[in-house]
């Protein structure tokens, strides 16, 4: 039986954040506005301590975390097993570089090969790097076997694949590359879930198709079985590789270790990050033998990828998450959250749609509240719950820890409802 308390950190007994009087603090939220690049609009509070699905800010206020660090904290904040793995490895060895292998990295790659379709794994530090490496691998594979002409990348509009040059160009949001052109050539975007558009875009010059099995940032749209199957079939027909970006959907998020396992469509390359490190920065891409063997010494590399600290944590995450009872609990928690959203909607008629898979759900706001999702996020902060937005600021997005308890779900929903009531009563 899955025991959410034994498997979750003992946040019930955790000490509340140490609150330092404001006058004694050298840095505050205002420091962000003065000394950091203004690339984000962070919340008005500064988190100081966290445990399980609970965060305390520097003022000692607590928040239920329905965001999970943007689908990263698969086991919540400071899970005791992850803390122990990190501490043990920190005492043993931090870094050796890729001139030498290390046991945690070998174990991690071994585990991923055992658990997935892949024969080989490349370890890196983030999701963006994983996609960059996957796309480079696909182009190298295509040019090795068919010549340089086979270079085209097919992606989808509103896709999100990260922030490097190639990742933003491959992603489907022109706003992320505006003013930074010219962008890399040879990339075509087709509407997500549009089988005909994908078929029209394909030809024998395509090296790869890259897809999120469910679009997250783009608006929480699950890939239809027809679209994912067509992508596989078209890639096979045109001798192109299918890359699944499972950076947000992977590691238990949808109730399967990787979401492709639920979809019945297997990619040639899969990228993973976020949840696999449970909060420690690590990413990877994995592929079949045929694909991986085009990458030889010198074709790709990273200083920190495969470092023992990240690998030790990721090994522990996989051991805990990839258990039938743990994954079944994700779906149970999904049902509880969905029931909560339905109850809120029954009272306030706020959601045009609730969609998603596992603990990765989006509530699309009705027309009257279009583009106001960030207002609900801010109201959530005032009422002690942390949520995300997605799409065109019209979706409330939820990606809590996979081991969130029923009590945390209920408390978070109650706080969300208070935030909704505040906004709707002021309208
Ligand atoms: C589907 C997807 N791909 C790639 C990335 C980029 O990952 P990272 O921010 O770790 O570079 C993200 C991050 O949100 C993502 O959701």
**Looking at ligand 1, which residue's alpha carbon is closest to its atom 3?**
161
To test the pocket of ligand 1, the residue of 68, 73, 161, 211 to mutate (highest count of ligand atoms within 8 Å of its CB) is 161
pLDDT(7) > 60:
no
CA of 70 to the centre of ligand 1 (A): 9
Question: CA-based diameter of the chain, in Å?
Answer: 66
Tokens of 299: 């074709």
Tokens of 422: 């505040």
**How far, in Å, CA of 191 to CA of 296, rounded?**
35
Secondary structure (3-state) at 407: helix
**How far, in Å, CA of 364 to CA of 334, rounded?**
17
135-186 pLDDT, tens per residue?
999 999 999 999 999 999 999 999 999 999 999 999 999 899 999 889 899 9
**How far, in Å, CA of 137 to CA of 140, rounded?**
5
- Residue partners of 264: CB distance under 8 A and separation at least 6: 225, 229
The atom of ligand 1 lying closest to the CA of 248 is 16
Pairing mode of beta strands 152-156, 187-190 = parallel
**pLDDT value at residue 427:** 82
Q: pLDDT higher for 9 or 207?
A: 207
67-97 pLDDT, tens per residue?
999 999 999 999 999 999 999 999 999 999 9
**Looking at ligand 1, which residue's alpha carbon is closest to its atom 8?**
127
DSSP classification of residue 368 = G
**Looking at ligand 1, which residue's alpha carbon is closest to its atom 6?**
162
pLDDT(110) > 90:
yes
To test the pocket of ligand 1, the residue of 71, 127, 135, 192 to mutate (highest count of ligand atoms within 8 Å of its CB) is 127
CA of 124 to the centre of ligand 1 (A): 13
137: preceding bond cis by omega (within 30 degrees): no
CA of 390 to the centre of ligand 1 (A): 13
**How far, in Å, CA of 9 to CA of 81, rounded?**
8
CA of 347 to the centre of ligand 1 (A): 35
Q: Is the CB of residue 106 less than 8 Å from the CB of residue 306? A: no
pLDDT(253) > 60:
yes
Secondary structure (3-state) at 287: strand
**Looking at ligand 1, which residue's alpha carbon is closest to its atom 7?**
127
Share of the chain above pLDDT 90, in %: 92
Confidence of residue 213 (pLDDT cuts 50, 70, 90): very high
pLDDT(393) > 70:
yes
Point out the least confidently predicted range of 15-29, 292-306, 349-363.
15-29
CA of 89 to the centre of ligand 1 (A): 26
pLDDT(233) > 60:
yes
Q: Is the CB of residue 271 less than 8 Å from the CB of residue 247? A: yes
332-351 pLDDT, tens per residue?
999 999 999 999 999 999 99
CATH node for 4-73+324-426:
3.90.1150.10
Confidence of residue 17 (pLDDT cuts 50, 70, 90): very low
Instruction: Identify the CATH class of 81-321.
Output: alpha beta
Q: pLDDT higher for 352 or 180?
A: 352
**How far, in Å, CA of 345 to CA of 226, rounded?**
30
CA of 15 to the centre of ligand 1 (A): 32
The atom of ligand 1 lying closest to the CA of 131 is 4
**How far, in Å, CA of 117 to CA of 121, rounded?**
11
Q: Is the CB of residue 86 less than 8 Å from the CB of residue 280? A: yes
Q: What share of the chain is helix, strand, coil (3-state, %, to 5)?
A: 45, 15, 40
The atom of ligand 1 lying closest to the CA of 167 is 4
Q: How many CA atoms lie within 13 A of 48 on its CB side?
A: 18
Whose structure tokens read 């029923």?
A: 406
Point out the least confidently predicted range of 105-114, 176-185, 365-374.
176-185
Average the pLDDT over 274-303 and give the result. 97
Average the pLDDT over 391-414 and give the result. 98
In order of 143, 314, 336, 426, the CA distances from 164 in angstroms are: 22, 24, 37, 41
DSSP 112-143: HHHHSS-SEEEEESSHHHHHHHHHHHHHHHHH
Confidence of residue 25 (pLDDT cuts 50, 70, 90): confident
**How far, in Å, CA of 190 to CA of 135, rounded?**
17
What residues line ligand 1, using a CB cutoff of 6 Å?
A: 70, 126-128, 131, 160-162, 212, 216-217, 245, 247-248, 273
CA of 271 to the centre of ligand 1 (A): 10
To test the pocket of ligand 1, the residue of 162, 163, 245 to mutate (highest count of ligand atoms within 8 Å of its CB) is 162
Q: Which of 366, 152, 327 shows the shortest CA–CA distance to 241?
A: 152
Q: Is the CB of residue 249 less than 8 Å from the CB of residue 382? A: no
- The structure's pTM equals 0.95
**pLDDT value at residue 243:** 98
Q: What is the mean pLDDT of the chain?
A: 94
What residue spans define the domains of the chain?
A: 4-73+324-426, 81-321
């Amino acid at each position: 039986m899955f025991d959410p308390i034994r498997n979750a950190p003992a946040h019930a007994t955790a000490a509340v954040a140490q609150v330092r009087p404001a006058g004694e603090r050298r840095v505050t939220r205002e420091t962000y506005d003065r000394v950091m690049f203004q690339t984000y609009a962070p919340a008005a509070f500064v988190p100081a301590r966290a445990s399980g699905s609970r965060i305390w800010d520097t003022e000692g206020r607590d928040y239920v975390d329905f965001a999970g660090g943007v689908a990263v904290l698969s086991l919540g904040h400071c899970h005791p097993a992850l803390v122990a793995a990190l501490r043990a490895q920190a005492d043993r060895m931090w870094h050796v570089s890729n001139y030498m292998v290390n046991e945690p990295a070998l174990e991690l790659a071994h585990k991923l090969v055992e658990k997935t379709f892949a024969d080989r794994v490349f370890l890196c530090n983030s999701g963006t790097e994983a996609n960059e490496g996957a796309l480079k691998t696909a182009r190298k594979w295509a040019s090795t076997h068919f010549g340089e002409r086979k270079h085209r990348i097919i992606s989808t509009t509103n896709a999100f694949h990260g922030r490097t040059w190639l990742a933003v160009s491959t992603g489907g949001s022109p706003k992320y590359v505006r003013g930074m052109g010219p962008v890399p050539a040879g990339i075509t975007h087709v509407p997500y879930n549009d089988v005909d558009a994908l078929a029209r875009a394909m030809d024998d010059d395509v090296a790869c198709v890259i897809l999120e099995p469910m679009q997250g940032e783009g608006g929480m749209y699950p890939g239809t079985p027809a679209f994912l199957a067509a992508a596989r079939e078209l890639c096979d027909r045109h001798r192109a590789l299918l890359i699944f970006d499972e950076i947000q959907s992977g590691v238990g998020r949808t109730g399967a270790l990787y979401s492709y396992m639920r979809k019945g469509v297997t990619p040639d390359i899969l990228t993973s990050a976020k949840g696999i490190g449970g909060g420690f920065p690590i990413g990877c891409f994995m592929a079949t033998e045929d694909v991986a063997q085009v990458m030889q010494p010198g074709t790709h590399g990273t200083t920190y990828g495969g470092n023992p600290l990240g690998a030790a944590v990721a090994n522990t995450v996989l051991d805990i998450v990839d258990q039938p009872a743990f994954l079944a609990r994700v779906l149970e928690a999904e049902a509880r959250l969905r029931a909560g959203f339905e109850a809120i909607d029954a009272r306030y008629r706020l959601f045009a749609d609730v969609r998603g898979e596992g603990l990765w759900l989006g509530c699309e706001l009705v027309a009257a509240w279009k583009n106001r999702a960030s207002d609900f996020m801010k109201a959530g902060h005032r009422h002690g719950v942390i949520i995300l937005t997605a799409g065109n600021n019209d979706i409330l997005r939820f990606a809590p820890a996979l081991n969130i308890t029923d009590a945390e779900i209920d408390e978070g929903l109650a706080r969300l409802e208070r935030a909704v009531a505040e906004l709707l009563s002021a309208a």
